Structure 1
Amino acid sequence: MTRIRTVCVYCGSSPGADPRHMEDAAALGRTLAEAGIGLVYGGGNIGLMGAVARATLSAGGHVTGIIPQFLVDREVMLADVQELLVTEDMHERKRLMFERSDAFVALPGGVGTLEELVEQMTWAQLGRHDKPILIADFGGFWSPLIALLDHMSSQGFIRPGMTVPYVVATGVDEVMPLLENAARLIDDLSEPDEIALQQL
């Protein structure tokens, strides 16, 4: 089975209106560190981004921050991470975040977080990757999006055979078990193809 070694966390550069969002972000960072899983994130030191990264570091975990040059000052870059990559633009940032991650988690955030999540879902839908995608629906934050996805399916815009692959966690303690189970299922689905290739 392919082991999840790094998780990309998409989240807001703001703390949000509910203090629980910051608490959940920090708890997720500690969870990743305790599991020996590296964090890949957007490189900022404020909001949920800063909370998840600082908590990962404080718990002894490895953090890779990836941030475009124009956001270095605006998002207050976290310089304490083990690996910091400053990119020319957002496209390079997103590509590197994808390449360096084995799975994706979306914490609460704004339109940037939404765009990053939906891009990974679209790529998976089109067969461009099979990395697990998890929506952290803590406190029901993403419930409107999940309802919209169901509505798209019922209206025929997400056709049978073109489903959007994702799992949903309602608490931090569910994140790693769900990701690991998703990775196992992906591996199980790919095994017949691997055996067939070996027999050719």
Structure 2
Amino acid sequence: MGRFSVTVFCGASFGGDETYKNAALALGAGLAGRGMRLVFGGGNVGLMGTTAGAVMEAGGEVVGIIPDFLRQKEVEYHGLTELIVTDSMHTRKRRLFALGDAFVVMPGGLGTFDETIEILTWKQLGQHGKPIILVDVLGWAQNFVRMIEETIARGFAKPEVRGLFEVVDNVAAALDRLETIRG
């Protein structure tokens, strides 16, 4: 079996507070320090690029997965351990899923929500049993949790949906949890 790989979903921008960038730096350094390989969206922008850069700076392995159309827009992160170019966003998400042993969701925008909802849906449908960890930097995950709770309250999802993911308070807690998952 290969190295324990963590697929990270996070923003292609930095958000409105330096704390988000600092969390991305801490996550990247922490993954590398624990010998965990980062799998991410392949871009050199925002929190995504910051996380990858921190892993690489700490001597870790990074696999980027980027659709060709984004590569053409010059957002590709050069110098990664491996770069996989896909034909579409959908193919990218399938590869992000396939290569990860666990998923960590950091703050982000619509793309991050899209990836998170899809990976949760796949888990709900029994397509995988991999852990999904939301890192609640500055309370970012709370509105996501409220959305899930509202969906349950209105009868559109079963209460068991709460068990599809975990929320941790910070990057240190996420890294500790990844250690227990890796075993």
TM-score w.r.t. the length of structure 1 is 0.85
Partner of residue 172, structure 1 = 171
Match of 2:94 in 1: 95
1:132 aligns with 2:140: no
Query: 1:142: how far off?
Result: 1.7
Give the 3-state SS of the residue equivalent to 1:66 in structure 2. Answer: strand
Question: How many Å separate the matches in 2 of 1:157 and 1:40?
Answer: 32
Letter in 1 for 2:174: V
**Shift in alpha-carbon separation, 1:75–1:105, aligned structure 2, 3 A:** farther
Shift of 1:114: 0.3
Give the secondary-structure state (helix, strand or coil) at the position aligned to 1:72. helix
Taking the TM superposition and a 5 Å limit, the aligned residue runs for 1:93-172 are 93-161=92-160, 163-172=162-171
Deviation at 1:161, TM superposition (A): 4.6
Q: Which runs of 5+ in 2 are unaligned?
A: none
Q: 1:160 Cα deviation (Å)?
A: 4.3
* Partner of residue 27, structure 1: 26
What letter matches 1:113 in structure 2?
T
SS at match of 1:31: helix
The count of aligned residue pairs is: 183
- Using the TM superposition, give the Cα deviation of residue 136 of structure 1 relative to its aligned residue in structure 2, in angstroms: 1.1
The correspondence of residues 52-91 of structure 1 with structure 2, limited to 5 A, is: 52-74=51-73, 76-91=75-90
DSSP 3-state at the match of 1:176 = helix
- Give the aligned partner of residue 50 of structure 2: 51
- 1:187 aligned residue: none
Q: Alpha carbons of 1:160 and 1:47: their partners in 2 closer, same or farther (altered >3 Å)?
A: closer
Q: Which runs of 4+ in 1 moved over 3 A?
A: 160-164, 179-184
Q: One-letter code of the match for 2:147?
A: L
Paired residues of 1:29 and 1:54 also in contact (CA < 8 A)? yes
Larger Rg: 1
Q: Please, which runs of 5 or more residues in structure 1 have no aligned partner? A: 185-200
Q: Tell me the amino acid that sits aligned with residue 112 of structure 1.
A: G
The structural deviation recorded for 1:180 is 4.3
Aligned residue for 2:44, secondary structure, equals coil
Q: Is the Cα–Cα contact under 8 Å of residues 42 and 65 in structure 1 kept in the other structure?
A: yes
Structure 1 residues 116, 75: closer, same or farther in 2, change over 3 A?
A: farther
Q: CA RMSD in A?
A: 1.9
Compared CA separation, residues 162 and 170, structure 1 to 2 (3 A): closer
Aligned-pair CA distance for 1:131:
0.4
Moved more, 171-180 or 42-51: 171-180
1:179 Cα deviation after fit: 3.4
Q: TM-score, normalised by structure 2?
A: 0.93
